[in-house]
Amino acid sequence: MKLEAAVSAFLDHAADEAGLSPATIDAYRRDLARFQAWCRDSDIESVEAVSIVEVRSFAAAEHRRGLDPRSVQRRLSGLRRLFRYLRREGIVEADPVQGVRAPKARRKLPEVLDVDQVLALLDIPEEDDLAVRDRAMLELFYASGLRVSELAGLGWNRLDLFEGLVRVVGKGRRERLVPMGRHAVRALERWRRIQAPIAGVGDSRVFTSLKGRPLGVRAIQKRVAYWSRRQGLDQNVHPHQLRHSFASHILESSGDLRAVQELLGHANLTTTQIYTHLDFQHLARVYDETHPRARKSTKDPEASSDQ
């Protein structure tokens, strides 16, 4: 089967049957287009001609041209989905991607805000309708640890302001129920009174412009960055930092990694475990700053010796 036809059939299947999000399908389309281009340069026309040797060569070529290990991993993920589909359809007998690993990625810990920084960011003076909306948005981000895409797509029908709960549809269309806290509830109630005459009736989006148009991801990112500057933080905060901060602060207080996994909507606990590294870094820093045996004295001759 021609590679181009196989990729086209897989993408149609992913869109119509697999229940993947449009963003995921677009990512697969871009990654598979890159693989097709490499195959054309290598005179490979059919899926049957792709073996583990070709897949390894493709991954190595992508790495050599400067692609970071995480991006190479994403390329291989798209290929795995493609050949899994082709095997299931009986188009190929073997999976040439099986056993191929990308170069090891250096694990980058997410940046988090400390509690004082978060409180400073959320202390937005509600001097106009936009400020009321944005405060509700930031309060909900931090209170519930939502992804920016989840917040952008959130409808009022997903909020229970009386119980203080938000029902979120996350990655893989997995649904989870997350508390929001009284500060977020009160901020949302204030915004709803302003938005109600703008949005009209029905299950409208929670966060809209003052003309009733839903805010997209990019618009939300810009508002978060605006308030981080306006509130005097020494960095441009992005929405995912509030999600990371939410997770880190919950774990720091409770030590319950499984609960953090549920709140964040991670399918796999290993994804959540990155926050244990953050928590350890915090503990190590506190130890270094406070423990008598950790602090070095300039009066101690051994502190500067090479022994």
Q: Which CATH number fits the domain that encloses residue 163?
A: 1.10.443.10
Last residue of a domain, one of 72, 88, 104: 88
Instruction: Check whether residue 76 and residue 150 sit in a common domain.
Output: no
Instruction: Check whether residue 79 and residue 172 sit in a common domain.
Output: no
Instruction: Check whether residue 58 and residue 199 sit in a common domain.
Output: no
Per-residue pLDDT of the chain (307 residues; tens, 9 = 90+): 888 888 888 888 887 776 677 888 888 888 889 888 988 888 888 888 888 888 888 888 888 887 777 788 888 888 888 888 888 888 888 788 887 776 665 555 557 778 888 889 999 998 999 999 999 999 998 888 888 888 998 999 989 898 888 888 767 677 788 888 888 899 999 999 998 888 765 558 899 999 888 999 999 999 999 999 998 887 888 887 887 777 776 665 555 556 556 666 554 545 444 554 544 444 445 445 544 544 444 444 444 334 3
**Contact by Cβ (8 Å): 30, 74:** no
Instruction: Check whether residue 137 and residue 181 sit in a common domain.
Output: yes
The CATH number of residue 12's host domain is 1.10.150.130
What is the domain extent for residue 14? 3-88
* Nearest in space to 148 (alpha carbons), one of 117, 126, 170, 132: 170
Domain membership of residue 74 (yes or no) is yes
The DSSP symbol for 291 reads -
Domain membership of residue 300 (yes or no) is no
Residue 165 bridge partners (DSSP): 160, 179
* Nearest in space to 82 (alpha carbons), one of 130, 25, 131, 129: 25
Instruction: Check whether residue 156 and residue 193 sit in a common domain.
Output: yes
Domain membership of residue 55 (yes or no) is yes
Instruction: Check whether residue 162 and residue 79 sit in a common domain.
Output: no
Domain membership of residue 295 (yes or no) is no
Between CA 44 and CA 24 the distance in angstroms is: 26
Instruction: Check whether residue 80 and residue 122 sit in a common domain.
Output: no
Instruction: Check whether residue 267 and residue 156 sit in a common domain.
Output: yes
* Nearest in space to 275 (alpha carbons), one of 299, 250, 296: 250
Domain membership of residue 277 (yes or no) is yes
Q: What is the pTM of this model?
A: 0.53
Number of domains the chain is built from: 2
Instruction: Check whether residue 261 and residue 125 sit in a common domain.
Output: yes
**How many of the other CB atoms lie within 10 Å of CB of 49?**
13
Instruction: List residues with catalytic annotation.
Output: 147, 171, 240, 243, 266, 275
